Amino acid sequence: EVQLVESGGGLVQPGRSLRLACTGSGFTFGDYAMTWVRQAPGKGLEWVGFIRSKGSGGTTEYAASVKGRFIISRDDSKSIAYLQMNSLQIDDTAIYYCTRDDILRWFGESTDAFVFWGQGTMVTVSS
């Protein structure tokens, strides 16, 4: 059974840093890109960024709102993806979800989609 478990959330002051972890199980972690999505209280979903599998270069992409402040990394030996959040701002307050990037195929076409999600971890940025 595929499972994703986020950890590391909590209360942090503006300007400080926090690192979240997403631990995967039930699948070969290194074969998949991993994505972070966040949701501010009472708001919609916002894509944060993703890290490709090592086989696809292990490179990262970020939303404009976090680029230069957040860093996604991975340790495939531990089946963990990290989200290092620096220079945190009040509006970074959100539930942070990790998801596995699945490639879904049908009739000769394919796409990326998020089939499996963690339960989320809450990050509160406040003084």
Footprint of other proteins on this chain (CB under 8 A)? 35, 37, 44-47, 50, 61, 63-64, 97, 104, 106, 109-115, 117-120
Exposed, middle or buried, 28 (CB in 10 Å: 0-12/13-18/19+)? exposed
Query: Measured from the CB of residue 118, what is the shortest distance to other proteins in angstroms?
Result: 7
Closer to other proteins at the Cβ: 90 or 113? 113
- Asked if 25 and 14 count as a contact pair (C-beta separation under 8 A), the reply is no
And the tokens for 46?
């916002």
Query: Measured from the CB of residue 27, what is the shortest distance to other proteins in angstroms?
Result: 15
Closer to other proteins at the Cβ: 35 or 53? 35
Closer to other proteins at the Cβ: 79 or 114? 114
Closer to other proteins at the Cβ: 11 or 103? 103
Query: Measured from the CB of residue 44, what is the shortest distance to other proteins in angstroms?
Result: 5
Region of 21 on the Ramachandran plot (φ > 0 left; ψ -120 to 50 alpha; else beta): beta
35 to 11, 12, 78, 99: CA distances (angstroms): 22, 22, 17, 5
